[in-house]
Amino acid sequence: MSTPTTPVRTERIGSTLLITLDRPEARNAVNAAVATGLTAALDELEADPELRAGVLTGEGGTFSAGMDLKAALRGESPEVEGRGFGGLTEAELAKPLIAAVEGYAMGGGFELALACDLIVAAEDARFGLPEVKRGLIAAGGGVIRLPKRIPHHLAMELLLTGEPVDGRRAGDLGLAGRVTATGQAVAEALHLAERLAENAPLALAAVKRVVRAADGAPDADAFAFQRGEMKTLMASADVREGMTAFAERRPARWTGR
Protein backbone atom coordinates (compact mmCIF):
# COMPACT_ATOMS: atom_id res chain seq x y z
CA MET A 1 0.00 0.00 0.00
CA SER A 2 1.35 3.43 -0.89
CA THR A 3 2.01 5.91 1.89
CA PRO A 4 -0.83 8.32 2.76
CA THR A 5 1.24 11.33 1.66
CA THR A 6 1.47 10.33 -2.00
CA PRO A 7 -1.19 11.60 -4.41
CA VAL A 8 -1.37 8.14 -5.99
CA ARG A 9 -2.50 5.14 -3.92
CA THR A 10 -2.11 1.48 -4.78
CA GLU A 11 -4.02 -1.49 -3.40
CA ARG A 12 -3.59 -5.13 -4.29
CA ILE A 13 -6.88 -6.91 -4.82
CA GLY A 14 -6.19 -10.51 -5.73
CA SER A 15 -4.01 -10.41 -8.85
CA THR A 16 -5.07 -6.84 -9.69
CA LEU A 17 -3.38 -3.59 -8.69
CA LEU A 18 -5.94 -0.86 -8.07
CA ILE A 19 -4.26 2.51 -8.76
CA THR A 20 -6.09 5.58 -7.46
CA LEU A 21 -5.29 9.19 -8.27
CA ASP A 22 -5.80 10.83 -4.88
CA ARG A 23 -6.05 14.61 -5.21
CA PRO A 24 -9.82 15.03 -4.86
CA GLU A 25 -9.40 18.65 -3.74
CA ALA A 26 -7.93 19.34 -7.22
CA ARG A 27 -10.24 16.91 -9.07
CA ASN A 28 -7.23 14.62 -9.41
CA ALA A 29 -5.44 17.03 -11.73
CA VAL A 30 -1.99 15.84 -12.76
CA ASN A 31 1.02 17.70 -11.39
CA ALA A 32 4.62 16.52 -11.06
CA ALA A 33 3.86 14.55 -7.89
CA VAL A 34 0.97 12.70 -9.52
CA ALA A 35 3.10 11.90 -12.57
CA THR A 36 5.87 10.55 -10.34
CA GLY A 37 3.41 8.58 -8.22
CA LEU A 38 1.64 7.07 -11.22
CA THR A 39 4.97 6.07 -12.73
CA ALA A 40 5.91 4.27 -9.51
CA ALA A 41 2.52 2.52 -9.39
CA LEU A 42 2.85 1.30 -12.98
CA ASP A 43 6.37 0.08 -12.24
CA GLU A 44 4.96 -1.86 -9.28
CA LEU A 45 2.36 -3.44 -11.57
CA GLU A 46 4.91 -4.43 -14.19
CA ALA A 47 7.53 -5.77 -11.77
CA ASP A 48 5.39 -8.14 -9.69
CA PRO A 49 4.66 -11.49 -11.41
CA GLU A 50 1.73 -12.07 -9.05
CA LEU A 51 -0.04 -9.03 -10.49
CA ARG A 52 -1.82 -9.72 -13.79
CA ALA A 53 -3.64 -6.44 -14.52
CA GLY A 54 -4.14 -2.90 -13.26
CA VAL A 55 -7.19 -0.70 -12.75
CA LEU A 56 -6.72 3.08 -12.85
CA THR A 57 -9.30 5.33 -11.24
CA GLY A 58 -9.68 8.60 -9.33
CA GLU A 59 -10.73 9.44 -5.77
CA GLY A 60 -13.81 11.48 -4.91
CA GLY A 61 -16.04 10.63 -7.86
CA THR A 62 -13.76 12.17 -10.48
CA PHE A 63 -11.29 10.35 -12.72
CA SER A 64 -9.06 13.32 -13.54
CA ALA A 65 -9.50 16.93 -14.63
CA GLY A 66 -6.27 16.67 -16.63
CA MET A 67 -3.19 18.84 -16.31
CA ASP A 68 -2.90 20.95 -13.18
CA LEU A 69 -2.69 24.39 -14.81
CA LYS A 70 -1.69 26.16 -11.59
CA ALA A 71 1.21 23.77 -11.13
CA ALA A 72 2.19 24.18 -14.78
CA LEU A 73 2.29 27.95 -14.34
CA ARG A 74 4.69 27.38 -11.43
CA GLY A 75 6.96 25.48 -13.80
CA GLU A 76 6.00 21.93 -12.80
CA SER A 77 5.94 19.34 -15.56
CA PRO A 78 3.20 16.67 -15.60
CA GLU A 79 5.29 14.56 -17.97
CA VAL A 80 7.85 11.85 -17.32
CA GLU A 81 10.68 11.52 -19.81
CA GLY A 82 10.08 8.62 -22.17
CA ARG A 83 6.66 7.90 -20.69
CA GLY A 84 4.66 10.99 -21.53
CA PHE A 85 1.88 12.78 -19.65
CA GLY A 86 1.33 11.41 -16.17
CA GLY A 87 4.00 8.78 -16.82
CA LEU A 88 1.44 6.82 -18.85
CA THR A 89 0.47 8.23 -22.24
CA GLU A 90 3.68 7.12 -23.97
CA ALA A 91 4.52 4.16 -21.76
CA GLU A 92 4.55 0.67 -23.26
CA LEU A 93 3.17 -1.58 -20.55
CA ALA A 94 3.25 -5.36 -20.86
CA LYS A 95 0.26 -5.92 -18.57
CA PRO A 96 -3.35 -4.88 -19.26
CA LEU A 97 -4.50 -1.60 -17.71
CA ILE A 98 -8.19 -0.75 -17.32
CA ALA A 99 -9.53 2.78 -16.79
CA ALA A 100 -12.49 2.93 -14.38
CA VAL A 101 -14.01 6.35 -15.06
CA GLU A 102 -16.40 8.10 -12.70
CA GLY A 103 -17.15 11.79 -13.08
CA TYR A 104 -14.86 13.93 -15.21
CA ALA A 105 -12.13 12.63 -17.52
CA MET A 106 -11.21 15.91 -19.14
CA GLY A 107 -8.19 16.91 -21.21
CA GLY A 108 -5.23 14.97 -19.90
CA GLY A 109 -7.60 12.88 -17.80
CA PHE A 110 -9.29 11.67 -20.98
CA GLU A 111 -5.85 11.03 -22.46
CA LEU A 112 -4.90 8.86 -19.47
CA ALA A 113 -8.03 6.80 -20.13
CA LEU A 114 -7.21 6.56 -23.85
CA ALA A 115 -3.76 5.22 -22.94
CA CYS A 116 -5.37 2.31 -21.09
CA ASP A 117 -6.26 -0.94 -22.85
CA LEU A 118 -9.89 -0.98 -21.74
CA ILE A 119 -12.31 1.65 -20.45
CA VAL A 120 -15.19 1.08 -18.03
CA ALA A 121 -17.33 4.18 -17.57
CA ALA A 122 -20.14 5.20 -15.27
CA GLU A 123 -23.17 6.27 -17.28
CA ASP A 124 -22.84 9.89 -16.12
CA ALA A 125 -19.05 10.12 -16.60
CA ARG A 126 -17.88 13.02 -18.76
CA PHE A 127 -15.18 12.65 -21.42
CA GLY A 128 -13.84 15.73 -23.16
CA LEU A 129 -10.80 17.28 -24.81
CA PRO A 130 -11.34 21.04 -24.32
CA GLU A 131 -7.77 22.08 -25.17
CA VAL A 132 -8.85 24.05 -28.27
CA LYS A 133 -10.82 26.32 -25.95
CA ARG A 134 -7.49 27.30 -24.35
CA GLY A 135 -5.54 27.71 -27.60
CA LEU A 136 -3.94 24.25 -27.32
CA ILE A 137 -4.38 20.76 -28.76
CA ALA A 138 -4.75 17.48 -26.89
CA ALA A 139 -1.05 16.66 -27.19
CA GLY A 140 -0.99 13.86 -24.60
CA GLY A 141 -2.35 11.38 -27.12
CA GLY A 142 -5.86 12.75 -27.62
CA VAL A 143 -5.36 14.01 -31.18
CA ILE A 144 -3.46 10.84 -32.10
CA ARG A 145 -5.52 8.17 -30.38
CA LEU A 146 -9.14 9.35 -30.47
CA PRO A 147 -9.51 9.07 -34.29
CA LYS A 148 -8.27 5.48 -33.99
CA ARG A 149 -10.81 4.61 -31.33
CA ILE A 150 -14.04 6.02 -32.80
CA PRO A 151 -15.24 7.03 -36.30
CA HIS A 152 -13.15 9.82 -37.82
CA HIS A 153 -15.82 12.50 -38.10
CA LEU A 154 -17.07 11.92 -34.56
CA ALA A 155 -13.53 12.15 -33.24
CA MET A 156 -13.00 15.38 -35.17
CA GLU A 157 -16.19 16.83 -33.73
CA LEU A 158 -14.97 16.19 -30.18
CA LEU A 159 -11.47 17.48 -30.94
CA LEU A 160 -12.58 20.61 -32.80
CA THR A 161 -15.50 21.64 -30.57
CA GLY A 162 -13.95 20.66 -27.24
CA GLU A 163 -17.41 19.56 -26.09
CA PRO A 164 -17.73 16.51 -23.80
CA VAL A 165 -19.82 13.34 -24.06
CA ASP A 166 -21.25 11.33 -21.18
CA GLY A 167 -20.57 7.70 -20.36
CA ARG A 168 -23.66 6.44 -22.16
CA ARG A 169 -22.60 8.19 -25.36
CA ALA A 170 -19.04 6.92 -24.89
CA GLY A 171 -20.46 3.41 -24.76
CA ASP A 172 -22.54 3.97 -27.88
CA LEU A 173 -19.42 5.19 -29.72
CA GLY A 174 -17.43 2.14 -28.65
CA LEU A 175 -15.06 4.31 -26.64
CA ALA A 176 -16.05 2.62 -23.37
CA GLY A 177 -16.31 -1.15 -23.58
CA ARG A 178 -18.58 -1.33 -20.54
CA VAL A 179 -20.96 1.24 -19.04
CA THR A 180 -22.18 0.99 -15.45
CA ALA A 181 -24.45 2.74 -13.03
CA THR A 182 -22.90 5.65 -11.13
CA GLY A 183 -20.43 4.44 -8.52
CA GLN A 184 -19.97 0.99 -10.06
CA ALA A 185 -17.13 1.56 -12.54
CA VAL A 186 -14.35 0.33 -10.24
CA ALA A 187 -16.24 -2.81 -9.23
CA GLU A 188 -16.91 -3.66 -12.86
CA ALA A 189 -13.30 -2.93 -13.84
CA LEU A 190 -12.02 -5.21 -11.06
CA HIS A 191 -14.37 -7.95 -12.26
CA LEU A 192 -13.05 -7.49 -15.80
CA ALA A 193 -9.47 -7.66 -14.52
CA GLU A 194 -10.28 -11.00 -12.87
CA ARG A 195 -11.46 -12.29 -16.24
CA LEU A 196 -8.21 -11.19 -17.85
CA ALA A 197 -6.21 -12.92 -15.11
CA GLU A 198 -7.70 -16.25 -16.17
CA ASN A 199 -5.67 -16.01 -19.39
CA ALA A 200 -1.97 -16.64 -19.99
CA PRO A 201 0.15 -13.61 -19.02
CA LEU A 202 2.65 -14.21 -21.85
CA ALA A 203 -0.20 -14.27 -24.36
CA LEU A 204 -1.74 -11.08 -22.99
CA ALA A 205 1.59 -9.28 -23.30
CA ALA A 206 2.05 -10.64 -26.82
CA VAL A 207 -1.39 -9.38 -27.87
CA LYS A 208 -0.42 -5.89 -26.72
CA ARG A 209 2.92 -5.98 -28.56
CA VAL A 210 1.33 -7.17 -31.82
CA VAL A 211 -1.40 -4.53 -31.63
CA ARG A 212 1.22 -1.81 -31.14
CA ALA A 213 3.45 -3.13 -33.92
CA ALA A 214 0.56 -3.50 -36.38
CA ASP A 215 -0.69 0.06 -35.84
CA GLY A 216 -0.12 1.79 -39.17
CA ALA A 217 2.24 -0.92 -40.43
CA PRO A 218 1.81 -2.75 -43.76
CA ASP A 219 0.12 -6.12 -43.34
CA ALA A 220 3.26 -7.98 -44.39
CA ASP A 221 5.30 -6.30 -41.64
CA ALA A 222 2.58 -6.88 -39.06
CA PHE A 223 2.34 -10.58 -39.89
CA ALA A 224 6.13 -10.93 -39.82
CA PHE A 225 6.22 -9.41 -36.33
CA GLN A 226 3.34 -11.66 -35.24
CA ARG A 227 5.17 -14.76 -36.49
CA GLY A 228 8.04 -13.91 -34.17
CA GLU A 229 5.67 -13.57 -31.23
CA MET A 230 3.99 -16.88 -32.06
CA LYS A 231 7.35 -18.65 -32.27
CA THR A 232 8.21 -17.42 -28.79
CA LEU A 233 4.81 -18.39 -27.39
CA MET A 234 4.90 -21.87 -28.92
CA ALA A 235 8.18 -22.54 -27.11
CA SER A 236 6.76 -21.48 -23.73
CA ALA A 237 5.67 -23.65 -20.84
CA ASP A 238 2.39 -21.73 -20.72
CA VAL A 239 1.35 -22.95 -24.18
CA ARG A 240 2.00 -26.55 -23.15
CA GLU A 241 0.05 -25.95 -19.95
CA GLY A 242 -2.84 -24.34 -21.85
CA MET A 243 -3.14 -27.27 -24.24
CA THR A 244 -2.81 -29.82 -21.43
CA ALA A 245 -5.41 -28.06 -19.31
CA PHE A 246 -7.82 -28.00 -22.25
CA ALA A 247 -7.32 -31.73 -22.88
CA GLU A 248 -7.77 -32.50 -19.17
CA ARG A 249 -10.77 -30.17 -18.86
CA ARG A 250 -9.35 -28.18 -15.96
CA PRO A 251 -8.33 -24.55 -15.37
CA ALA A 252 -4.84 -23.71 -16.55
CA ARG A 253 -2.11 -22.99 -14.02
CA TRP A 254 -0.03 -20.26 -15.62
CA THR A 255 3.59 -19.67 -14.66
CA GLY A 256 4.41 -16.85 -17.08
CA ARG A 257 7.24 -18.90 -18.58
Of residues 90, 131, 194, 198, which has the active-site annotation?
131
111 is catalytic: yes
Chain-centroid distance of CA 171 in Å reads 16
Catalytic residue among 79, 102, 111, 188: 111
How far apart CA 190 and CA 168 sit, in angstroms, is 20
Task: Tell me the C-alpha distance between 106 and 64, whole Å.
Answer: 7
- 131 catalytic? Reply is yes
Assign residue 103 a region (left: φ > 0; alpha: ψ between -120 and 50; beta: otherwise). Answer: left
**Rounded Cα–Cα distance for residues 188 and 123 (Å):** 13
DSSP classification of residue 117: S
| Cα distance between residue 70 and residue 128, in whole Å | 20
Q: Tell the burial category of 33 from Cβ atoms under 10 Å away from its Cβ (0-12, 13-18, 19+).
A: middle
Q: Evaluate whether 201 touches 54 at the Cβ level (below 8 Å).
A: no
Return the active site residues: 111, 131
